[in-house]
Amino acid sequence: MDMSAARERLVVIGGDATGMSAASQARRLKGPDELEIVAFERGHFTSFSACGIPYWVGGDVDDRDDLIARTPEEHRARDIDLRLRTEVTEIDVAGGRVRARDVDSGAESWTSYDKLVIATGAGPIRPDMPGSDADGVHGVQTLDDGQALIDSLTRTRGRHAVVVGAGYIGVEMAEALIKRGYEVTVVNRGSEPMSTLDPDMGRLVREAMEGMGITMVDDAEVTKVHTGGDGRVRAVATQDAEYPADVVVLGIGVRPQTELARAAGLPLGSHGGLLTDLAMRVRGHENIWAGGDCVEVLDLVSGQERHIALGTHANKHGQVIGTNVGGGYATFPGVVGTAVSKVCDLEIARTGLREKDARRAGLQFEAVTIESTSRAGYYPNPSPMTVKMLAERRTGRLLGVQIVGREGAGKRVDIAAVALTAGMTVEQMTALDLGYAPPFSPVWDPVLVAARKATAAVRKGSS
């Protein structure tokens, strides 16, 4: 029997979390005799934690290499033919092949595949304005970005930093720059930071950030980056004012990098991400998978697709794809939209739908907000916490939870994440058997207090 005839080739585009998790998992299930694996990565690194970049910049993480979960050498030692600094420039779906270009030499060649994984990630949204690519203006999506920012901070030793955008990346970078001794201004398009929260909860974040000495500029759009004679950033202008800036960090979000997929005629959703089935196969394509920051995911609460760039989903996608490519069976059922972050000692968390998400999905709801503490009130350092909860009108189904507080607040959102996944009502939640002891929780956990209030609101508004 000729084994080579049965040998298939898997091509992976993108060497970060999804791509290399998929490759590794496929390799675990199928040896090199059965499956050849070729992975193309245009950068210098593999399997790194982009989520860790703010902590590297802020000095909590000493070494860039700490952010690398698995090096190119480790992947190669597992019989994965990893080609760094090699960018895929075209997918020929009909021909079952990809064209790749050596970034340094410019040489191009075609590689055929039996199975293809697209894990091209997301890229930062760059504001369309004069000076947005000036020296000292930095994205923070890749390790190269992070290194460039750190080099820039070290070289210029400036005083003023402007962060554009007040989402997760924005607030985390604000903290990182504060830690490096900068005076930080955050320029935010919305009325409150953290637009992933409702504005009433975002206001708590703004108040806390201002308390940390961060200047918050709301309802402002950056219109221009002013540069000096050396081509380096000097200030940032909005429609109303100008802010001195020795360095500018772009944290206005990311979009799926799906130009290749679009050119190949693969299906994209309304957020620009690839559309897949539950096994993470690109819709309509038996032998092409996609995952991570370049795909849209099903929101299990609203029933609609969303784009969420988050390492934890990317890793799960890689695991599911690798299992299926390797001949096993796994699915990714969707997300409930959980996210957690912190800025200094303020913890910020959400899961499920905000008020505007619920309205957009056609859902009517009751919203309640409660104040509680992370521990029993009489125990030392009971840190305050605000919990907002949305429940569907009449059915009482949990729709979403937002939490802003200090130590012990953030991960409490997991309770709601599991309850959302299970489709629980807020009244069912009031009976949840959560861990209680004075150092860990009041006798009614803050999530239960919110569930009780939401239950009362649903009952009262039950007509």
Return the range that interacts with a second copy (CB under 8 A); candidates 258-266, 363-371, 388-396, 421-429: 421-429
The question of whether 294 is a catalytic residue gets the answer: no
The amino acid occupying position 271 is H
Alpha helices, DSSP H only, in 162-310?
Answer: 168-179, 199-211, 259-263
Q: Of residues 107, 411, 461, 462, which one binds a second copy by CB under 8 A?
A: 411
Q: What gap in Å lies between CA 462 and CA 394, rounded to an integer?
A: 5
Q: Which of 32, 33, 66, 108 binds a second copy (CB under 8 A)?
A: 66
Task: For residues 179 and 185, give the distance between their C-alpha atoms in angstroms, rounded to a whole number.
Answer: 14
Cα separation, 123 vs 128, whole angstroms? 15
Treating both helix axes as pointing N-terminal to C-terminal, what angle do 168-179 and 199-211 enclose, rounded to 10 degrees?
10
Cα distance between residue 400 and residue 147, in whole Å? 37
Q: For the chain, how long is the longest CA-to-CA vector? A: 75
Total site size for a second copy, rule CB under 8 A: 66
Least CB distance to a second copy at residue 62 (A): 9
Interaction with a second copy in 292-321: which residues (CB under 8 A)? Answer: 310-313, 315-316
Q: Which residues pair with 343 in a beta bridge?
A: 346
Kindly state whether residue 335 participates in binding a second copy, applying the rule CB under 8 A: yes
Stretch that binds a second copy, among 86-94, 112-120, 143-151, 332-340 (CB under 8 A): 332-340
Minimum distance from residue 5 beta carbon to a second copy (Å) = 30
- Interface characters, 136-175, with a second copy (x: CB under 8 A): --------------------------------x---x---
Q: Which residue from 91, 247, 349, 450 is in contact with a second copy, where contact means CB under 8 A?
A: 349
Looking at 10, 20, 26, 51, which residue is catalytic? 51
| Contact pattern from residue 20 through residue 59 relative to a second copy, giving x for each residue in contact according to CB under 8 A and a dash for the rest | -----------------------------x-xx--x----
CA–CA dist 245, 6 (Å, integer): 59
Three-state DSSP at 291 gives coil
Task: Assess contact for 53 and 143: CB atoms under 8 A.
Answer: yes
Query: Taking a C-beta distance cutoff of 8 angstroms, is the pair 291, 321 a contact?
Result: yes
| Near a second copy by CB under 8 A: residue from 86, 188, 341, 386 | 341
Q: Which of 86, 338, 386, 425 binds a second copy (CB under 8 A)?
A: 338
**Rounded CA separation 318/321 (Å):** 5
Nearest Cα residue to 348 out of 177, 176, 171, 191: 171
Q: Which x/- pattern, by CB under 8 A, does the window 368-387 give for a second copy?
A: --------xxxxx-------
Q: Which stretch binds a second copy (CB under 8 A): 29-37, 61-69, 186-194, 227-235?
A: 61-69
Phi, psi dihedrals of residue 340, rounded to the nearest 5°: -140, 145
Q: What amino acid occupies position 280? A: M
Asked if residue 456 binds a second copy (CB under 8 A), the reply is no
How distant is the alpha carbon of residue 16 from its chain centre? 14
**What residue ranges bind a second copy (CB under 8 A)?**
17, 49, 51-52, 55, 60-61, 66-67, 69, 168, 172, 310-313, 315-316, 331-333, 335-342, 347, 349, 351, 376-380, 408, 410-415, 417-419, 421-422, 424, 428, 430-441, 443-445
Q: What are the residue numbers of the active site?
A: 51
